[in-house]
Structure 1
Amino acid sequence: MKKLLLALGVSAAATLSPLTQAATYTIDTKGAHAFVQFKIQHLGYSWLLGRFNTFEGEFEYDAAAPEKSEIEVTIDTASIDSNHAERDKHLKGSDFLNVSKFPQSSFKSTGFKSTGDGEGVISGDFTLHGVTKNISFPVQLIGEGKDPWGGYRAGFSGTTTLKLSDYGIDYNLGPASTHVEIELHIEGIRQ
């Protein structure tokens, strides 16, 4: 009888609790449905594009309470890929990322402010090259729903621009190349 009353109590509590709760999503890097890309001017004459091939993370999301959204991403800096082996070797060295000393970069959110339907500004601590700074950037919900494999997914996109010298990277590529644009395109699988 005690077990029956306990089960009824738990069931009643679940029924009375809010119907919407933030769900945890694992960023789908195994299925290659997520990307961390970068874009920087090369000497002011062209754009250099690249990405980080290895990263992982999770996010919390509830459409009914987007202000409670959170995200945490860790990037393997040695996985930088600019589609040119010699350039990647230089980018991994002490002039830029210094991956032997700083093998990871990370972002951990500290707040989210909704600015409209499916849009907002996320703030958090970004660490690069051993330096951590609080940054904010706009993000947008791309979509959410069931996937063909019986799961549920949500996808977001965000872009920010970083001043390299703020993170101790001061290699001179000219005045047009002092900032790098970072794009985060993520698709998460609800756990």
Structure 2
Amino acid sequence: MQLNKVAGIFMGFILLASSQLWAADYQIDTKGAHAFIQFRVKHLGYSWLYGRFNTFEGSFSYDEKKPEATKVNVTIDTASVDSNHAERDKHLRSDDFLDVKKYPKATFISKKVMPKADGKAVLVGDLTLHGVTKEVSIDVTAIGGGKDPWGGYRQGFQGSTSFKLKDFNIKKDLGPAAQEVELILSIEGIRQG
């Protein structure tokens, strides 16, 4: 009887360990600057203006065998906007655009993932920006995963989405070519635990 109890506990530990082998939680590697949130918008229809957010944090859970169970949570410091031009960045932080004093954070919280072929997927979630929450779809591609030189394990993805500025109550009109902004995401996470 005692042997059956010990065997049951042992099997429970094995099942718990095996489930943890497949599903893992990752911290987005912003400390090592191996993750980027960039954006681009057309300038007068003649060229692209690029920028990024320098300060953000987030995490995701990922199971390679069950990608539809992926969950993502990201928080962006909107005042960290950087377009490589101090005066323009000041304008982007103003109430014409991000209004960072009133809305210091932007967030993305995933709701579902729709896997496709070849490591691609569509990640659907709520983006909150400028005090407005809207559902957005992000086209995602798995870049790769594996051990790193420091004894950890990493997983990386690339994604992109676009949205209209007016959908987030940003009313500044930059002309017909600049109604939409594209987000370009390069995310590398470090497995936790």
TM-score (norm 1): 0.94
Measure the CA separation in 2 of the matches of 1:155 and 1:48: 26
What residue in structure 1 maps to residue 14 of structure 2? 15
Percent identity over the alignment is 58
What residue in structure 1 maps to residue 66 of structure 2? 65
What residue in structure 2 maps to residue 109 of structure 1? 110
What residue in structure 1 maps to residue 176 of structure 2? 175
Give ranges in structure 2 of 5+ residues lacking alignment.
none
Deviations 1:92-141 (A, max 9, x none): 00000000000000100000011113111110000010000111121010
What residue in structure 1 maps to residue 97 of structure 2? 96
Q: How many residues align?
A: 190
Query: What is the CA-CA distance between 1:75 and the residue it aligns to?
Result: 0.3
Which AA in structure 2 matches 1:137? I
Measure the CA separation in 2 of the matches of 1:100 and 1:78: 8
What residue in structure 2 maps to residue 162 of structure 1? 163
What residue in structure 2 maps to residue 41 of structure 1? 42
Structure 1 position 120 matched with structure 2 position 125: no
Query: What is the CA-CA distance between 1:45 and the residue it aligns to?
Result: 2.1
Q: Secondary structure at the match of 2:137?
A: strand
Aligned pairs (5 A) from 1:134-145: 134-145=135-146
Measure the CA separation in 2 of the matches of 1:75 and 1:16: 37
Give ranges in structure 1 of 5+ residues lacking alignment.
none
Query: What is the CA-CA distance between 1:176 and the residue it aligns to?
Result: 0.2
Contact 2:29 2:189 in 1 (8 A): yes
Query: What is the CA-CA distance between 1:46 and the residue it aligns to?
Result: 1.7
Deviations 1:50-84 (A, max 9, x none): 00000000000010111101101000000000000
What residue in structure 2 maps to residue 186 of structure 1? 187
